[in-house]
Structure 1
Amino acid sequence: MTDRVVVVAGAVYDKGRLLAARRSAPEDLAGRWELPGGKLEPGESPEQALVRELREELGIETEPVERIPGEWPLKPGYVLRVWTVRLVSGEPRPLQDHDELRWLAPGELDDVDWLEQDRPAVAEWARRRSGTSQEGVRR
């Protein structure tokens, strides 16, 4: 039939912290935390979709850095792919699909109830950050 729908998400980081977004809908996901993003539109690259989605959902300008290996199933026919994303400008605000945002330091990543499909990417982001020199993390 048709190919899978790709949903892109960003492990948005700034000053060594990761941005978590709490879902406001749909009802079965509301109150859980995720890496923000959305579906690719026809003709978009995953990186273009990610920049657009983060602008629409959070009002920020970002730069995709690298893809986190792997992909995770969502609902049938949908798959999640995650990129590390550098915050370029703006202060994130929950404009669409979210009712709260939190910046989490590496030691705070377990403080929120992540959606299952986001957990492996969050863990990989933390692993990569712990391998970064301190001057690369703090500013």
Structure 2
Amino acid sequence: MEEFMKRLVQVQRDIPWLPQAKGRTYIADELPPLERCATAFGLAFEGNRLLLTRLRDRDWNLTGGCIDPGETPEHAAVREVREEASAKVEVIELIGYQELQKFFPKPPDYRWPHPIDCQVYFRCRLIELSPFEPNPKASTARSSNPAKRDVCLRWRDSRRSTKRAYGALRPGNQGQRG
């Protein structure tokens, strides 16, 4: 019988992009409850360089976004990578997730699970990288060495835990976890 692996790698309070919240980042091999999954990200590499997107409203970021109604987290990650970076990918494995616990009342128009939702991260295999066409969500895409500090990620405040996940993702480390 295989053992479920879930390891807490970071706790963050008062997240800059989500005040009055606490984030717990886990490296895991099972999804959190599906009713808590709100967003999905696909981390794909071109050689040893991570594919990123420049979102119009957030600057450089990992490829990913909201899970549509009726969509699985895996399908959302694949779709978001295609929409934001013009890349065709397939999900290889779950890396982990960030659980976000909000300490504010649920606003009437709030579309995410409340008080807890999860952002899910998958390692993906890059199948095809098409020429990028600017779109309503993203102005450009590129691949970058994830260890470099020249890339401004929305998750810059959790750089340590993200680097651990990248370590498990590098092409030579498939199957290993941070």
TM-score, with structure 2 as normaliser: 0.57
Match of 2:140 among 71, 78, 100: 100
CA contact (8 A) 1:71 1:79 kept: yes
Post-superposition offset of 1:5: 5.2
2:51 is aligned with what amino acid? L
Aligned to 1:136: none
Q: 1:120 to 1:74 in 2, by over 3 A?
A: farther
Equivalent residue, structure 1, for 2:123: 84
Contact in 1 for aligned 2:53/2:84 (Cα 8 Å): no
The structure-2 alpha-carbon separation of the partners of 1:129 and 1:54, relative to structure 1 and needing over 3 Å to count, comes to: closer
Greater mean alpha carbon deviation, residues 111-120 or residues 13-22: 111-120
RMSD over aligned CA atoms reads 2.9
Structure with greater proportional helix content = 1
Q: What is the CA-CA distance between 1:52 and the residue it aligns to?
A: 1.8
Aligned-partner Cα distance in 1 for 2:131–2:158: 19
- Check 1:20–1:60 CA distance in 2 against 1; reply closer, same or farther (3 A cut): closer
Structure 2 stretches of 5 or more lacking a match?
A: 1-34, 103-111, 174-178
Would you identify which runs of 4 or more consecutive aligned residues in structure 1 move more than 6 Å?
A: none
Q: Which residue of 2 aligns with 1:18?
A: 50
**Deviation at 1:35?**
0.7
Offset from partner CA, 1:20-57 (integer Å, 9 cap, x none): 222212xxxx33x2111121122221111111222223
Match of 1:50 in 2: 77
Aligned residues: 125
Larger RCO: 1 or 2 (CA < 8 Å, sep 6+): 1
Separation in structure 2 between the aligned mates of residue 131 and residue 68 of structure 1, nearest angstrom: 14
How far, CA to CA, are the matches of 1:74 and 1:54 in structure 2?
A: 26
| Alpha-carbon distance in 1 for matches of 2:128, 2:163 | 25
> Which entry has the higher C-alpha Rg, 1 or 2?
2
**Residue identity (%):** 28
TM-score normalised to structure 1 length: 0.71
Report the 3-state secondary structure (helix = DSSP H, G, I; strand = E; otherwise coil) of the residue aligned with 1:87: strand
Gaps of 5+ in 1: 134-139
**SS state of the match for residue 115, structure 1?**
coil
Q: How far 1:8 sits from its partner (Å)?
A: 0.3
Mark the CA change 1:13 to 1:96 in structure 2 (over 3 Å): closer, same or farther: farther
Distance in 1 (alpha carbons) for counterparts of 2:62 and 2:165? 11
